[in-house]
Amino acid sequence: MIHLAKEDIKHTLGKFVVTAMGVGMLLGIVLIMMGVYRGMIVDVEVLLNDLDVDLWIVQEGTLGPFAEASRVHEDLQYTIESLQGVDNSSAITFQNIQLPQGKSKVRVFAVGYDVYGGINPINPARLVTGRTLATDHYEIVVTDKTGFTLHDKIQLGRNIYTVVGVTHGSVSSGGDLLVYISLKDAQELQFSYSNKRIQTDRARGIITRDTHMVNAVIATVKPGNNVENVAGEIRKWHHKSVYTKAQQHAVLTKYVVEKSSKQIGLFTAILIIVATIIISLIIYTMTLEKMKEISIMKLIGLPNSTIVRMIVEETLLLGILAFMFGNIFSHLIYPKFPKRVVLEIPDAWMLFGMVVVASIVASFIAVKKVINADPAAAIGD
């Protein structure tokens, strides 16, 4: 049997391929949007997994330090470490800063940690060159995407920092590039004011300021101890909010990325609907262009099923070809996105399923047009 769809496509191959490429770019953007969402989920877990601690102790009544502002005293780490069942504890700070790079600035998320403490947030597997921090002052470990290299000098506040290590793939839960500085430097950066501000504060009678604050205390629990029990003890006696790793993960996904993921999900859904409408319009137009031929085919006796099959096959082929172009397009452009984009095969298959369904739906109007076509219209001119 003659394959009508194949012959029709062969006849207008260039037009068909260009159309598929256009729709493909739209589908490619759908894949990228899915990848951005996946990237957000991965980013949320990077710092949490690199730290790999059992407990997060934060300001009472807050979801800190990622979902809500949290301040606790630095020396809380010693109290926590002395508790039964706690193996290690360390004070930690988080803050967004801008690193000067030439005439522009790079937004980063700085992790301040106790260099001599028992918990190092720098995952050795991510360290591509150099070392972790070794002294309390003026050393910085940066992520490669910041553009800084080993031994670069960076002006931060009143001081100059030296890059002593470069990591790869370190990002905050918000997708910002991570840098690591000592806890003392982090506190200095957070609480040191300009000379003019200090003068003004003194004139207002503000003489002292407490710089020994941190955003959280993190702790590991000794093997054989129940994490929940230790967390319960801290909540009970120290008036702090305590989250286990799983709870912190839930906080991050629920409060930090939930709205963003919903936004991306909605945007993706709209794009799929737009793609369906576009495929539908293209197929409808292609069918309208063939109405005379369709009337002739019906007049000479071709059954509707043969003509409908041609329309549906062309729609499906357009969808599949567009899907292939979409994959190529998304894989070509995703590395150029500033934040992490994770393209996953199951997402691509899910989109493929959607494209097939959308293509069939898209062909309905054209098929209706075919069924209603008047064979007598072939007679005349």
Catalog residues that contact another protein under the rule CB under 8 A.
1-2, 4, 7-8, 10-12, 292-293, 296-303, 306, 375-376, 378-381
Q: How far is the CB of 306 from another protein (least distance, A)?
A: 6
Name the minimum Å distance from CB 260 to another protein: 48
Cβ 69 vs Cβ 200: under 8 Å: no
Q: How far is the CB of 372 from another protein (least distance, A)?
A: 15
Nearest distance from C-beta of residue 281 to another protein, angstroms: 21
- Tokens 């102790």 correspond to 57
Tell me how far apart the alpha carbons of residues 248 and 173 are, in angstroms, rounded to a whole number: 11
DSSP per-residue letters across 208-226:
-----EESEEEEEE-TTS-
In the complex with another protein, the residue whose CB is nearer, 67 or 299, is 299
Of residues 41 and 299, the one with the C-beta less far from another protein: 299
**Cβ atoms within 10 A of the Cβ of 160, count?**
10
Contact 76, 242 (CB under 8 A): no
Q: Which is nearer to another protein, 8 or 176 (CB)?
A: 8
Q: Minimal distance in Å, beta carbon 308 to another protein?
A: 14
Residue 280 in tokens: 């539908």
Residue 307 CB, nearest approach to another protein (Å): 11
Locus of tokens 């800084």: 148
Looking at the Cβ atoms of 137 and 292, the one nearer to another protein is 292
Question: Does the CA dihedral 125-126-131-132 come out positive or negative?
Answer: negative
Based on CB atoms, which residue is closest to another protein, 6 or 236? 6
Q: How far is CA 184 from CA 77, 93, 118, 277, 285, in A?
A: 14, 10, 16, 58, 68
Residue placing its CB nearer to another protein in the complex, 117 or 375: 375
What backbone phi and psi angles, to 5 degrees, belong to 97? -135, 165
CA nearest neighbour of 135 among 158, 161, 166: 161
Nearer to another protein, 350 or 376 (CB): 376
Q: Which CA distances in Å does 43 have to 82, 91, 176, 336, 374? A: 33, 22, 9, 17, 59
Q: How far is the CB of 24 from another protein (least distance, A)?
A: 23
